[in-house]
Amino acid sequence: MKTIRLLISCPDARGIIAAVTSFVAEHGGNVLDADQHSDKQHGEFFMRVEIDPAGFTLNPSNFESAWRPLADHYRMQWRVAWGDRPKRMAIFVSKAGHCLNDLLWRWKTGELAVDIPCVISNHDALRRDVESLGLTFHQLTITPANKRQQESETQQRLADAEIDFVVLARYMQILSPDFVAAMPNRIINIHHSFLPAFAGAKPYHQAYDRGVKIIGATSHYVTDQLDEGPIIAQETMQVNHRDTVDDLVRKGRDLERIVLARAVRHHVEDKILVSNNKTVVFD
């Protein structure tokens, strides 16, 4: 069922929930789901409301003018997803295909309700996996000499395809600050460790050398601070002294698939609000 999703963040105050639900009712709407959170430390309030579009008298052309007085009164930051079309997702990938193929499988089976206009890679290794599903594969080889030009080409392809957000499915390139700034909280990465531990190269080798008892994976929004963006989802798995590096890599890949898919689904379903480099995820 397609629903209208209203997301709100503002200073915490009395009466916000009543005001929002009354507004929906006054305009013929029915609240199908509502969730909220108060951050006592920062004095912030967060809310997600799903509205049945049947009977709701507001639409994208007149919602803002009706909503603005209430939003201004409570000093809200807000956005509405009207559910009129699936979000358009681009996937960036390098050579490792486990996260890419997991997302493609979830899309193919209908578990992930998105359109995938294109997959972009700096290598050709996964072309067949993508094109066998009738999807568009762009190879844009990146070198230090052509990185700026290739990023510009990539941005143009994203604009032409009307991409809503990007998923880095083990894309082994660092995006420039300008590229990231053009898509704030719309680029999702999977990091092959439980951040902030074991950041950087070969995290499973680091974990093995330290004799860890758990490994993990972290999905987060990309910022210009490497691997320090707002965390969306994390998961851990117990390991022991019998596990080799190869065992850790294999188990880690399982975690990466699950955690990235969870983060993408939260984003697609408009369940994430970001504040102070942290996320509120309504699950």
Query: Per-residue b/e over 211-232, b at no fewer than 16 CB within 10 Å?
Result: ebeebbbbbbbbbeeebebbbb
Residue 150, by phi and psi: left (phi above 0), alpha (psi -120 to 50) or beta? alpha
Active site residue 227: yes
115, 227, 247, 254: the catalytic one is: 227
Q: Please, what is the end-to-end C-alpha distance for the chain in angstroms? A: 18
Distance CA 101, CA 261 (A): 11
Q: What is the DSSP letter of 144?
A: T
Cα distance between residue 22 and residue 31, in whole Å: 10
So which residues are the catalytic ones?
Answer: 227
